Amino acid sequence: MRMTLDAICKISFGVEMGSLVPSLPTIPFAKAFETTNEIVTARFVDPFWKLKRFLNVSSEATVVRSAKEIDDFVYNVIRARRIELKELQQSQNGDHLAHSKVHYLCNIEISTFLFASSIHLS
């Protein structure tokens, strides 16, 4: 899973996760992604998952925390890319990643990551 995570993050986000370093560090994004994936898959056999989600308890509360961790990671990647673009294009007018498009871009990045990881896992 670690090699897949590194490869997919490099392709999808352009980010080195460093999950294969000898010390095998815990990466919050990877843990959140794995946790969310397991819980969402378990929904198929849990008839009360919608109630849990409504009450924000048990595994559904964990999904909310994990989704926030995933969102934070992706938004940080996008912010870093915006800063890089601004530095490269200081002489030009306009922001090529307008603030209103950041949420859309975040969803595209997460979808790309989910697609790539589901291909590998199947």
* Alpha-carbon distance values, 31 to 5, 35, 73, 78, 91 (Å): 11, 6, 12, 20, 40
| Count of CB atoms situated within 10 Å of the CB of 17 | 19
Q: pLDDT band at 89, cuts 50/70/90?
A: low
Q: Which domain holds residue 78?
A: 2-121
The whole-number pLDDT of residue 122 equals 47
Mean pLDDT (the chain, rounded): 78
Q: Give the Cα separation of 57 and 51 in Å (integer).
A: 9
Number of H helices, E strands in the chain: 5, 0
pLDDT in tens, 39-87: 988 999 999 999 999 999 999 999 999 999 988 988 888 888 888 777 7
Our count of domains for the chain comes to 1
Dihedral of CA atoms 8, 14, 20, 22 in degrees, nearest 10, equals 180
Q: Do the Cβ atoms of 57 and 34 come closer than 8 Å?
A: no
